[in-house]
Amino acid sequence: MTASATDRTVTGRTPKTIRVRYFAMFREHAGTASESLALEADTARDVFLATRHRHGSPEPAGHCKVAINDEMADWDAPVEDGDEVLLFPPVAGG
């Protein structure tokens, strides 16, 4: 417990409450369209990787897209406590 608390202080990472929304294949794999998670995440990519076991996809982030609070974002975009992160598997319009 002490070690864990110390680690968090050292890394500066405290869990953020992130609302994650899953689409298409990701939604089917997660078994839900959205959920709130407490994640130690600095960027959109961190959220993607942290939920990978939930959205169940081997797709690299480069094939997928992400939006934060309904705005398309880069994988390196920072996430804040309370943000909504939308994870988009590879698109296929038309």
Nearer to another protein, 16 or 65 (CB): 65
Token duo for residue 1: 């417990």
Which residue of 7, 14, 72, 81 would you call a contact of another protein, by CB under 8 A? 72
Site string for another protein, 5-44 (x = CB under 8 A): ------------------xxx-------------------
Nearer to another protein, 50 or 88 (CB): 88
Smallest gap from residue 12 Cβ to another protein (A): 31
User: Are 87 and 20 in contact, with CB atoms under 8 Å apart?
Assistant: yes
Distance CA 23, CA 7 (A): 34
> For residue 26, which of 56, 48, 69, 71 has the smallest C-alpha distance?
56
Strand runs (DSSP E) across the chain, as ranges?
A: 16-22, 34-39, 65-68, 71-73, 84-88
The binding site for another protein (CB under 8 A) comprises 23-25, 59, 63, 65, 67, 70, 72, 86, 88-94
